[in-house]
Structure formats: structure tokens, C-alpha cells
Structure 1
Amino acid sequence: MPNFILQGPDAFIFEIDPLTGAITPKSWFLADFDDAWNANEDNIYEMSAIDTDNTDTVAGSTDFEYRVTPTDAMLVEASAPVALTTFTISGPDTVIFEINKFTGEVTLQDWFAPEPGDNWDADENGTYNFTVTTTAPDGTVTDTPASLTVTPTGEYIFDAPAPIVLPEPEPVDPDPVPFGTLFSLSGDDAIVLQIDETTGAITLNDWLTPDPATIGMQMKMVFMTSTSSLPRRMAPWSRLLRRSRRTPKARSW
């Protein structure tokens, strides 16, 4: 019987089924391309699934990567080809730049602001040279020379490949009850009513058709809410309930 465990620099973020070897992120982890938690901070989470009951250490171990992109996240074997075109940067002046791995957009490091006459490039001429390397999913590699020139007037002139525009990720619906404010009903007669737990709106259950002959019944309910006051839309119900306690006469619902 297999007994799988996880090892590796980023294994603490994931859990593995000891019998099947299925790997899933832990419940507290939400993949975010702009907030990398992996050891290398490159959005590639590395780990190895190891079957401790397999005497063949090679056959009993598989390397995995959890790859997070701006629009997706996927668990694949480390040997799997990259599903998207990726970009890297190299050259003598790259220390002042950073590149988006999936769009190819080149930007200055936030700590660096070039100024005319204060040249940090290798040639000290105000032209910062670098190379953008594009790797396609089929393995094709393309190198494109690029540069940033700082003019005597302080203008920045980027000569670099245009970045890819990725689709925006699907928006996440906000929690309709962000602070835990919930409404509920209780009481002897609350069974005939229903309440919207987020707005406090009260309606009759669809199976109830009020009978004028019995409308004088007393409905005793307790509104449970963590807010200091009830919605205004509940006020008509409150007045109706008070009237029903005073008189048994039939009233229109």
C-alpha cells in the first residue's frame, strides 16, 4: 500500500493524499500572481511527491510544479512543457529592470529613477542595454535586443518589444455579508415565515395561504441580528403583528 508524503521548498503550502498521491493547495492558500509565496518568488511552487513504501527511490518520487499565471493556476509534473509564452531579460544593465514573465512588459525597478548625467549603465552613456528572451510553448526561443535611453532633457525612450495584453481574470464576488451581519427568525409561529438572512426582509412561506378566519392568531417572533436596528422594510410587519394581538378581526394580507 502506498504512503505518499510531500517534500520540497514549497511543500508546506500543499497537502497530499497518502493513498492516492493527489496534491491540493491548503485551504488557507489562495494563488495570486501578484503575491508569490514560493521560495523563489517566481510563482512556480516546487515540490516532490514521495512514496515512502516504494523501495525504488527513483520510481517512488515525482517532481511537481504548481504554476501560477496572471489568469490561471495549474499543478503539473516539473517536466511538463510551459503552456504559455514566457519572457526573461538579460544583459549588462538588467539590474535596474524587471520583466513580467507572462506579458514581457519591461519596467524600472521601483528604487531606480534615471537622471540625465547620472548614468548607471555599463557604458555610462545614458543608454541601458538589455535582451528580451521569448520562449514559446513549443520551445522556440527568440532574443530581441532592447534598450532604455535617458535623454539630456530627462526623457525616457524605451526600445523594447510590445508586451502581450492578457485577459483580465474573472472578478470574485465580494462576500455579501462582509462583517457577519445575519438575520434569523425564531418563535412559536416563525415556521410560516421566511427571512432574507442578509437584508432582513420577511415574507410568507410559499406554501401558506392565510385564512381570514384565523388571521387573529398571535405571531410571536424574535428578530436575531448583530446590527443595532432593523431594516425599515420590516416596520410594516411589526405594526401588523401588533394589531393582530389587539383584535381578532380579519384583515387583508
Structure 2
Amino acid sequence: MTTSNSTPAGGKRAGSSIKDAVLATVALIALAVVGWYLYQQLRPAPAYTFEVLEGPVESNQDNVTAAQLLDMPLVDEQGQPVSLRERQGKQHLVIVFTRGSMAAVPARSKGPQLPQLPNVCPYCSTQATGIANCMPEFIKEDAAVLLVFPVTELTQNVDAVTLRNTVKKPGEEPAFPILLDVKLQAVDKLGLRDHLARPASFIIDKSGDLRFAYVAKKGSADRPSGNELLRRVKQLNEEKQ
């Protein structure tokens, strides 16, 4: 008797059908991956406006004191110590904390950026530009604006310079000084740490009293505009009349 080793025709067809189904599934998955990639590359970029709060805002921070602010260990762009105590009583002080240098932040964690400001929060640029536009009025109201730029090391002062240059026209003097908070010392003392720093704005009047304190609670856009800070300063002067 002769034994046959051939596979039945039905078994061959079943095996072929399974193979075809697997290949079709793989092909569909590959097409889906390619389609998703092309969509990500070709879709329009989100239209971020990087706007900050333009309306009135109320103080929302009562854990910071004027003494803490006046004694902050800040330096200028060259690393020389700057004393805010020496400025007390001469003018109203408008102290604005930016988020600081993002040089040490992984690219995937930076969020939306402006190409010309790779290591600067774009909302910080918006706020600083608004303040710069109001500087003639701040000066008229006898107020000094001090922008604090936290950095993990002094070499990141280049990012502060980049920010400064975006809010002034070529040939003009800087609208306001940018002070560095090296190693985020002031940020930590004031309880503003959140990866970098939470945006915060403070106003100390000529008498040395803290009259306005606002710390972001809802993200980078949560900060008063230059117009709102100016309005607050004007209120202080109106009280004296």
C-alpha cells in the first residue's frame, strides 16, 4: 500500500487565506501609520497668540511680604549684586517675575515656542512687550519696573539679553532693567517654583508696603498685562491726591 504525504486541497486553501488576511492587515496598518505621519507633517500649525490677561485682576497672593521682595538675592546681567533696598522709597517698584530661561528644559516639555525665542516663554515676551509699551506712563507715574529672569546658571543670561532685545527697537536703551535670579534662589524663597518659575507680579509703593501681588495659578498666560500693572500704579497715586 502506498502512503500519500500530500496536503488536502482544502487545507492549502485555508492556509493561503490566513496568510492573505495577515498580509492585508499588515498593509492596512502600514498605510495608517504613513497617513498619520503625513497628516502631522502637512496639517497647519496651531495659531497660538500668546496673549496675557488684559482685564483687571485682583491680588491673589498673601504669603509674600515686601521685606522678602526687597531682600531678594538678585544680580544684573554681568553677575553683579543688585539691592532693591536701595531703591525703596524713591519710586513705586513694579517687580515682574518671568518664567526664566528654558535652556535646561527638554524640547518636548517646553510647549509652543517662538522661533526667535527658543529658550524664553512666549507669554513672558508678550507681557514684557506690553510693559515696554507702557514705560513712558510708568515713568510719568514715578514707578520703576524691574523684570526678574530666573536662571539655573549665570551663562543663561544670554536668554535674558534675547528677551530684552525683543522688547526694544535697535539703537534704543532698554525699557527696564532685567535682573537675574541665579539658581532660582528668590523663586524658592517666595514659593514660586514650578519646573522653572510661575509668572508673578508685585507692586511695592514708595512707603515700602506691598500693594499688589499676583501669582499665576492657571498656566503661563495667567498674568497681568502691562496696562493692568500701570492701572494699579495710577491707583496708588490717586490715593495720595
What TM-score, normalized by structure 2, do the two folds share? 0.21
Task: State which structure, 1 or 2, has the greater radius of gyration over its C-alpha atoms.
Answer: 1
Report 1 or 2 for greater relative contact order, CA contacts < 8 Å, sequence distance ≥ 6: 2
Q: Which structure's residues are more often strand, by fraction?
A: 1
